[in-house]
């Protein structure tokens, strides 16, 4: 459990930080300005493709994806501090082709995809040419309990027929999004955890309709977009099935581990940035005769932020280390722990940074409000806090039974 | 300190509740649909004027404004439970002509305006024909300490010349907004609390420029809008000065009391609605084999919400009672207390309601996310929590000196 | 719902405050010194009987007990602010014959006792000549769910035979404690809420053994004492049954309401005293170049304390008002709310006061540590927080079913 | 930063855990029974000396003390998990001669003592023959700011004369306590951080009077005891001065680092034990038809406890690692962080365990209440939370100046 960053990692950290300073932060504003206000999901801000090209040139591409010939050869533990740096900017993860939900989807294709799947979908995803989405959550049932999921995937000859309505299929608003991994019920009579399957569905298949893009606290997150998608008698070749019928839960378990920890790593980066912004701001504002940074309450916020970030980072590194050494499944309690603590930690820090900034904090003039809204969804996505806490508790109780 | 609602108040509560049920809630969605997505600040959703007409017909108009011939003859204590009901819907306060910042501005005109001011500005405001804004906060200084304010109001012959940049002038995005109350420094050499003045500035005066509309989290709050306004060599007749030079602080103190308590009352209503939405939702969702409403954690949220709402309401009623009996100035500590507690209470409850709703909670499908963002600003508007706590503490400490 | 204190109440408040200042606070230390360290439960500090005599002379005696010829004719609402004052000192409630558990027991005797019970037990209790205890909680079962209670009360001819072990029978350590109200199962085959009875058991009855006195965070609370009592084949006349067989739950419901609200009232007084002590202290200590009272964090503690006390007091007054007007049963949700909030509020305030005092705070040099430990038990006594929150939530949910 | 436990450490963990199971836990009750209730500070429970002998035989002795020939050759990082195990029982640290304040005092003697000091005091301390105390805190000033300290240490020929009153000299109640390290002002005219010195004062020197033993909540912590000590014209040889005049602050900085981290390690052990006790208890109690362990609220407590312990442990290990690699001074921010977080984390967990236990939790029937009270003092000892947070914040702010 060695958390020191190796020379290789330190070199990448430096390179990444320089890249962020030189290319990413200075273009955050431009990125948003390049979005077409009248048709925000129509095209990608050109600066993004420029930045992606630059990242490739700098060898900062596909740094995720451990244990695979397709990745950069980094372990989860090595990737963590890099992913954290990317999390400091809302636009950065895509720049390095390390954005959700693509990383999770690529992991699924690497592990469970056939050669044909890899050729058709994994390669362009790895190249940053297309994007993907993950269609699991449904509006009509409490999807936190995945056994509730109602979409159907029914075999009909050489095809599967998919029916159901999904929402929060993030990234489906993006015009480059070409493929969805859809979870649905394949066999309602099977044992509970073998009823579900995952299948590949091209977004241009007949019967796939994006009903609307869901806002997050007023943000449309264009051009990414969280979509509500109707799948109505959608037919795909039987070969699109991932791993096999009834393997949906097993894949979910494998997919969600890396996906969750990536979110946590990025969240720590977002918390660090909020703390940094707060520290800078409070040394430059005076109220009631002294700098805000001399106010005891502000100092308390800063100290608590530093303590909580340090703690969350160490626990995230531990989870990453366990994924590397004993596997995602054995690491599931540690993953659950960081899944709970990282967003809650960051939300508290960002909220206090907002408070320190005053009205500027809730506006577009700082990254804080957008960061808060984004991270607020992480207390729900991939399972709400309460479901993860329940799992942690049950694991703990088992020790004493 | 009798908090029982009189028969008159109960009758108004019933009338208002019926009106909300019949006209307001069913039109919330329509209101937002009627906003022109391509030019959201260009016009008012027609349903608003229809609803205002209906409210007038039902005698539910200008219920605020105690101790004035212009109002409905209700005390603050009587108005509180009515304002609370209005706070349940984001569009309701305007329907009844009880919306911020107009109510506060009308109070200022009633108290400190000349007959000419009243004729020109108060009357159309009371009639709901025009709207107004309040230009106090500045981007360049910590405006929580009002002595920092830098805008200048300089006498030049029969006129005053106003220079400065203000932001968070809420309501200035509205095409009906015609008049601003601007606070600025009149005499930097005067004693600290006599340097500032307040003056009436028509928004169509030369030199007044709306630079941009500030978003709150991702919401533009169209057509209301929080504006950044540049006042550049704006000239108004000397008679536009309110009360007199150097009276800015004194007016602010008088203005902000009612403004703050109205926000608190509405906030309690928003919290009640969130609790109601949560209670309904959790009885209709099943996860892990039982209704969410049977989960202990959810029950804890509901119980704590009920306790905290009850407490905040009672303290708000006490503050209102004191404003009625000993005056806004004497009630300032109680007003500070509710100013702190009401938004924090509501934010906690709404956040938990969001969590209970899952992803729907952060979207547009419930009033929760928008309500949260709106109330989050109230921890900053009219002074951040920290400034009010400081005032409460100093008052408390004084008892033992 | 008029919370203004009447002239009668204000006069009593003043009288009580003067009495506290003149007689109670100055003798707190003496009281503890007069306890025999080698045999702390052997006798009562003589100063207590002197103070009781003085309180009687001043007409400050038995101020509780509304709606009864035996009491002082005060409603719950009128008693609340007086009880709060008594709660400021650990020794005060007994001085005025308003101490737990006697007040609750006297209420039971007034309501459910026969004339003979009143003659034998109520009169000496009202006179402050004897004391009493309440034997409900059992060590072997989760007594928070009263249906778990296992002690048996079995009819045998003209007698009842009582068997069982009770603990936290507070006050049973006192040599003047003569009578216990014991709750036990009378008929295990009856409907759940009619299985239990309450019966009067003289503490000198054969078979009653005090096994030990339970400490509370190291405090023995001598000479009061929380006793573990074994009842082994204890025989009492059948006439000792209160109200009737199977009425245990009904009496408990009646008894616990007043008992709980008295605890809350006193707890508010304890919180006020802690705040007062803190405010005095921090103005007299200097660290890092300024008075503690000038530290922002300390000011935040003071402000939050003031807000939380105000809120809890108002909610307690509302509960008292409801008990007076619609009865203890209808007021049960409000009682549950204050039962939860008052101790939690006070614990937070006292803990912060301890922190402000530094090491002195955890010692005997301030009333804080003892007060904290005492109030910590109130989150468990008469039902833990969690049980009350559950009840509040169920009540709330019912509105929307 | 390798946090994996080496084989050596794992072997010691196992050995220590077995020792705890076999000898320590089963004798906790006996230890307290062997204290003479009528004269609790008169003698040491015999079981303690027996256990110490056994610990020596098992090679579990003086495991602290890194970088010294006198210790067991363990680094801080290696000692951490062992110290944690000891922290699970209030009597364990002394059993292994790893108890406060002796470990800190021994560190001081090793680093700053002369050979004569070591011969006279360090050797018997290492042998567990005598004990020691640390006299720094004073009742009359806010000692959290050590520049406030008023005791005087004045040179007079070959002697120093010490005057002052100290309190919270923990361990001075113990009849085996022979030596105090006293901090006092040597030169009020020197630069602020060079005014103080530390000097060795035998407790039997004329002029040393133990005025009283201070209780912690209701615990006297016999036979250890927190003493208030008067030093009145106490004369000691000039050679008793540690390091040199004016070195008090420098020694304090060196001493308090290890002392603080030991407290944190033990505190984590105490939190683990509380969690374990809670997990066992809740699986064996039924209320309202289900086991407490099936209640969602209890599960939430367990999950949060597990997360918070994991985080605090990792941060403690990081601080230990830094002490080992970059030194106590460079590690001071990390030490400050765990100094804040460990006690707060543990107090929350223990408090919830108490709540889960019901009334048993506040009594002597579990280790919880005593553990809580003990750890509550750690939010004050060696500097209150607020002082450490201030230091952390200032360090953070400096990064952006």
For B354-396, write each residue's pLDDT tens digit. 999 999 999 999 999 999 999 999 999 989 999 999 999 999 9
Task: Tally A–C CB contacts below 8 A.
Answer: 11
Q: Does the CB of A286 have a partner CB in chain B at under 8 Å?
A: yes
Q: Is residue A31 predicted with pLDDT exceeding 90?
A: yes
Q: Does the CB of D80 have a partner CB in chain A at under 8 Å?
A: no
Q: Is residue B259 predicted with pLDDT exceeding 90?
A: no
Residues of C in contact with A298 (CB under 8 A): 296
Q: Give me the residue from C279, C389, C392 closest to B396, CB to CB.
A: C279
The one-digit pLDDT tens for each residue of chain D (401 residues) are 889 899 999 999 999 999 999 999 999 999 999 999 889 999 999 999 999 999 999 999 999 887 778 878 899 999 999 999 999 999 999 999 999 999 999 999 999 999 999 999 999 999 999 999 999 999 998 888 888 899 999 999 999 999 999 999 999 999 999 999 999 999 999 999 999 999 999 999 999 999 999 999 999 999 999 999 999 999 999 999 999 999 999 998 777 778 889 999 999 999 999 999 999 999 999 988 899 999 999 999 999 999 999 999 999 999 999 999 999 889 999 999 999 999 999 999 999 999 999 999 999 999 999 999 999 999 999 899 999 999 999 999 999 98
Q: Chains contacting B with at least 3 CB pairs below 8 Å?
A: A, C, D
Q: Is residue C401 predicted with pLDDT exceeding 90?
A: no
pLDDT of residue C313: 98
Q: Which domains does chain A have, with CATH numbers?
A: 7-126 (1.10.540.10), 131-246 (2.40.110.10), 249-398 (1.20.140.10)
End-to-end Cα distance, chain D: 29
Q: Chains contacting D with at least 3 CB pairs below 8 Å?
A: A, B, C
D249-268 per-position pLDDT tens digit:
999 877 777 888 999 999 99
Share of chain B above pLDDT 90, in %: 89
pLDDT of residue B41: 95
Smallest CA–CA separation between D299 and chain B, in Å? Answer: 9
B253: confidence class by pLDDT, cuts 50, 70, 90: confident
Q: Does the CB of C297 have a partner CB in chain A at under 8 Å?
A: yes
3-state SS string for chain B: CECCCCHHHHHHHHHHHHHHHHHHHHHHHHHHHCCCCCCCCCCCCHHHHHHHHHHHHCCCCCCCCCCCCCCCCCCHHHHHHHHHHHCCCCCHHHHCCCCCCHHHHHHHHHHHCCHHHHHHHHHHHHCCCCEEEEECCCCCCCCCCHHHCCCEEEEECCEEEEEEEEEEEECCCCCCEEEEEEEEECCCCCCHHHCEEEEEEECCCCCEEEEEEECECCECCCCCCEEEEEEEEEEEEHHHECCCCCCHHHHHHHHHHHHHHHHHHHHHHHHHHHHHHHHHHHCCCEECCEEHHHCHHHHHHHHHHHHHHHHHHHHHHHHHHHHHHCCCCCCHHHHHHHHHHHHHHHHHHHHHHHHHHHHHHHCCCCCHHHHHHHHHHHHCCCCCHHHHHHHHHHHHHHCCC
Smallest CA–CA separation between A296 and chain C, in Å? Answer: 5
Q: Does the CB of D392 have a partner CB in chain C at under 8 Å?
A: no
Q: Tell me the pLDDT of chain C averaged across its residues.
A: 95
Residues of A in contact with B143 (CB under 8 A): 358
pLDDT of residue B329: 87
Q: Does the CB of D337 have a partner CB in chain A at under 8 Å?
A: yes
pLDDT of residue C272: 98
Asked if C390 and B3 come within 8 Å (Cβ–Cβ), the reply is no
Q: Does the CB of A340 have a partner CB in chain D at under 8 Å?
A: yes
Tell me if residue D240 falls in helix, strand or coil.
Answer: helix
A262: confidence class by pLDDT, cuts 50, 70, 90: very high
**How many whole angstroms separate alpha carbon A87 and alpha carbon A93?**
7
Q: Does the CB of C300 have a partner CB in chain A at under 8 Å?
A: yes
What is the phi/psi pair of residue A334, to 5°? Answer: -65, -40
Q: Does the CB of D288 have a partner CB in chain C at under 8 Å?
A: yes
End-to-end Cα distance, chain C: 29
A65: confidence class by pLDDT, cuts 50, 70, 90: confident
pTM here is 0.97
Task: Tally A–B CB contacts below 8 A.
Answer: 130
CB A286 within 8 Å of CB A292:
yes
pLDDT of residue A119: 97
Report the chain A residue with the minimal C-alpha distance to residue D298: A393
Closest CA to B64 of B22, B23, B21, B93: B93
pLDDT of residue A313: 98
Residues of D in contact with B295 (CB under 8 A): 296
Residues of C in contact with B280 (CB under 8 A): 400
| pLDDT, mean of residues B47-57 | 98
pLDDT of residue A83: 97
Q: Give me the residue from A312, A340, A400 closest to D276, CB to CB.
A: A400
pLDDT of residue C72: 81
CB A306 within 8 Å of CB D389:
no
Q: Give me the residue from C38, C217, C387 closest to D362, CB to CB.
A: C217
Smallest CA–CA separation between A393 and chain D, in Å? Answer: 5
Q: Is residue C254 predicted with pLDDT exceeding 90?
A: no
pLDDT of residue C257: 78
Asked if B287 and A377 come within 8 Å (Cβ–Cβ), the reply is no
| pLDDT, mean of residues B94-114 | 95
pLDDT of residue A372: 98
Q: Is residue A67 predicted with pLDDT exceeding 80?
A: no
Q: Does the CB of C302 have a partner CB in chain A at under 8 Å?
A: no
Q: Does the CB of D296 have a partner CB in chain B at under 8 Å?
A: yes
Asked if A287 and B145 come within 8 Å (Cβ–Cβ), the reply is yes
Residues of A in contact with B297 (CB under 8 A): 386
Whose tokens are 């912060």? That residue is C352
| pLDDT, mean of residues C221-232 | 97
Q: Chains contacting A with at least 3 CB pairs below 8 Å?
A: B, C, D
pLDDT of residue D90: 96
| pLDDT, mean of residues B212-221 | 97
Share of chain C above pLDDT 90, in %: 89
pLDDT of residue A257: 78
Comparing A140-144, A299-303, B107-111, the range with the smallest average pLDDT is A140-144
């Amino acid at each position: 459990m060695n958390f020191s960053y190796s020379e290789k990692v330190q070199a990448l950290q430096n390179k990444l930080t320089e890249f962020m300073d030189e290319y990413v932060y200075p273009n955050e504003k431009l990125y948003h300005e390049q979005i077409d206000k009248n048709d925000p999901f129509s095209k990608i801000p050109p600066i993004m493709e420029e930045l992606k090209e630059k990242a490739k040139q700098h060898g900062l591409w596909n740094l995720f994806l451990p244990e695979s010939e397709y990745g950069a050869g980094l372990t989860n533990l090595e990737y963590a501090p890099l992913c954290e740096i990317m999390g400091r900017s809302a636009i950065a993860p895509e720049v390095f082709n390390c954005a959700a939900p693509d990383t999770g989807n690529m992991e699924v294709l690497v592990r469970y995809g056939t050669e044909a799947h890899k050729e058709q979908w994994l390669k362009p995803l790895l190249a940053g040419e297309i994007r993907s989405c993950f269609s699991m959550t449904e509006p009509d049932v409490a999807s936190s309990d995945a056994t509730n999921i109602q979409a159907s995937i029914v075999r009909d000859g050489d095809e599967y027929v998919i029916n159901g309505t999904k929402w929060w299929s993030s990234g489906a608003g993006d015009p480059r999004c070409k493929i969805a991994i859809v979870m649905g019920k394949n066999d309602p009579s099977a044992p509970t955890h073998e009823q579900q399957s995952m299948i590949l569905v091209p977004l241009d298949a007949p019967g796939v309709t994006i009903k609307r893009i869901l806002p997050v606290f007023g943000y449309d997150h264009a051009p990414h977009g969280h979509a509500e998608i109707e799948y109505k008698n959608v037919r795909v070749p039987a070969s699109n099935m991932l791993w096999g019928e009834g393997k949906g839960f097993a894949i979910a378990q494998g997919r969600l581990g890396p996906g969750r920890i990536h979110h946590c790593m990025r969240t720590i980066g977002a918390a660090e940035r909020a703390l940094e912004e707060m520290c800078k701001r409070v040394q430059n504002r005076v109220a009631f005769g002294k700098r805000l940074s001399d106010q005891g309450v502000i100092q308390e916020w800063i100290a608590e932020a530093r303590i909580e970030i340090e703690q969350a980072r160490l626990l995230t590194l531990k989870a990453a280390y366990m994924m590397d050494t004993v596997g995602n499944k054995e690491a599931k309690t540690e993953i659950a722990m960081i899944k709970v603590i990282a967003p809650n930690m960051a939300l508290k820090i960002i909220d206090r940074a907002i408070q320190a900034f005053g009205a500027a904090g809730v506006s577009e003039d700082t990254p804080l409000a957008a960061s808060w809204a984004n991270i607020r969804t992480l207390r729900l996505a991939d399972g709400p806090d309460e479901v993860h806490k329940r799992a942690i508790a049950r694991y703990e109780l088992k020790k004493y039974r």
